[in-house]
Amino acid sequence: MNLSKVKLSFVELGPIPIEGNRHQAVKNVIETAQKLEDWGYSRVWFAEHHDTANFISRAPEVIIPMVASNTSKIKVGSGSVLLNHYSPFKVAEVFTLLGDMFPGRINMGIGRATTGPVADYALQRNRKFRQMTDDSDEQLEELIMWLTKGFEKGHPFAGIKTHHDEALPEFWLLGSSAWSAAAAARWGLNYAFAGFINPDHAYYITDTYRKNFQPQSNGLGSDKPHLILSLSIYCADTMEVACKLAAPAVLMMQRLRAGKLNEPPETEDGAIALLGGMPGPSVLDDATVPPRYLIGTPETIRKDLRTIAATFKVDEIMVQCITHNLQHRLQCLQLLGDVFELK
C-alpha cells in the first residue's frame, strides 16, 4: 500500500442549483464527472436518497450509465444501492447489465439505510404490513450468490442466471456501522466506510474489518482487506473561503437532525447568517477521529489527509463536498486534485 500517494474519489448527491432546476442538476452531474476524470480522480459514486427536494440522486442505477456514456475511463458506481429495499436478484441483473455495457468501469456499491418511515413503506412491494425485521445478512448473502452462481444444486434459484461470464462489476460493501464491517470481513469484500456519518467510531470499526477479514474465492473481493474512507472535505485557496464553503453543509446537517431536510438550500452568506457565524477551520487532534468536516486550504487538507490515510492504512479517500454552488464545488475538487498530484 503506497501511503505516499493518496488517491481521491468523489461521492455525488446531485445538488440542485439554488437558482436552477433539476435538469440543470443533471447537466452539472455530467460536467462534474468529466472534470473529475480530467483531474485524475479514481471513481465517482452516486448516492441513493429518497424524498429529498434538493438533490436528484435517488436512483444511482439510472445515473451511472448516463455518466459512463459521457466519460471514458473514470470508474462509475453506486454509493450506494440500498439493498434492504430491493430484490437482490433484480439488483444483480441491473449491475451485471451495466457491467456488460461498460466493461471494467462499473462499481457496484451496496449498502442499507432507512429512508424515513413513509418512504420506507412506499418502497415495499407488499403493503399489508410495515416491514420491521432486519434481514440484511440474508439479503447480502443472496446477492453474493446471484453474482457468483453460488446456489447449491437443488436450490430453487440454482437454475437462474444473472450473468453468463466472469466480467463482474467491482463489488463494494458500504457502511458506517459495525454490522457492515463484520459482513465485509466475513465475505472477504472491499469495504467503504462513511467517516462523515460516524467519525467517532471510524477507526475501531475499520480496524475490526481488517482484523477479521477472511479471503474468499467468490471473485467479488480481494485476497486482503481493501478499504476506502469517505470524508466531508471543504477546500479553498484561503481559510476564510473554505469556511464559507462549508457553511451550507453545516446548516443542512443541523436541519437534518431537526427533521427539516427539505427546506430550500441557502447560499453561503445566508447559511452563515442562520448559523450565527462562520464555521471554523478543522483541527485534527486525533487522526483516529477525523473531523466531521475537514475545512482548510490545500496545504492543511493535504497534511491532515495524509495523516488520516496513514493512520487508517488507506490509499484512497472518497470526498464528499455538498454545496449547491457548482463552481465553488469544482474549485474545491480541482484544488484537491492538484495538491495530491492525481495526474
pLDDT of residue 116: 76
Asked if residue 97 is part of any domain, the answer here is yes
Between the ranges 40-44, 121-125, 153-157, where is the mean pLDDT highest?
40-44
**pTM score:** 0.96
Q: What is the CA radius of gyration of the chain?
A: 20
Write the DSSP string, 94-149. HHHHHHHHSTTTEEEEEE-----HHHHHHH-S-TTS------HHHHHHHHHHHHHT
- How many CB atoms are located within 10 Å of the residue 44 CB? 28
CATH for 143: 3.20.20.30
Question: Average pLDDT, stretch 183-197?
Answer: 97
Comparing CA positions, the residue from 31, 19, 23 lying closest to residue 329 is 31
pLDDT of residue 219: 85
- Binned at pLDDT 50, 70 and 90, residue 122 comes out as confident
Asked if residue 155 is part of any domain, the answer here is yes
Tell me how many domains the chain contains.
1
Q: How far apart are CA 339 and CA 327, in angstroms?
A: 18
Question: Average pLDDT, stretch 46-72?
Answer: 96
pLDDT of residue 2: 54
Comparing CA positions, the residue from 265, 233, 266 lying closest to residue 337 is 233
CB 316 within 8 A of CB 7: yes
Q: Within a 13 Å sphere around the CA of 183, how many CA atoms are in the beta-carbon half?
A: 23
pLDDT of residue 114: 78
Q: What domain range is 254 assigned to?
A: 7-339
CB 46 within 8 A of CB 66: no
Residue 54 has pLDDT above 80, yes or no: yes
Residue 180 has pLDDT above 60, yes or no: yes
Asked if residue 1 is part of any domain, the answer here is no
Work out the percent of the chain whose per-residue pLDDT is above 70. Answer: 97
Write the DSSP string, 24-76. HHHHHHHHHHHHHHHHT--EEEE----S-SSB--S-HHHHHHHHHHT-SSSEE
Residue 186 has pLDDT above 80, yes or no: yes
What b/e string do you get for 191-220 counting C-beta neighbours within 10 Å, with b at 16 or more?
bbbbbbbbbebbbebbbbbbeebeebebeb
Asked if residue 2 is part of any domain, the answer here is no
Q: How far apart are CA 211 and CA 14, in angstroms?
A: 35
CB 139 within 8 A of CB 108: no
Cell (9 digits) for 268: 453561503
Q: How far apart are CA 327 and CA 107, in angstroms?
A: 27
Asked if residue 61 is part of any domain, the answer here is yes
pLDDT per position as a tens digit, 273-291: 999 999 999 999 999 999 9
pLDDT per position as a tens digit, 104-113: 999 999 999 8
Cell (9 digits) for 283: 483541527
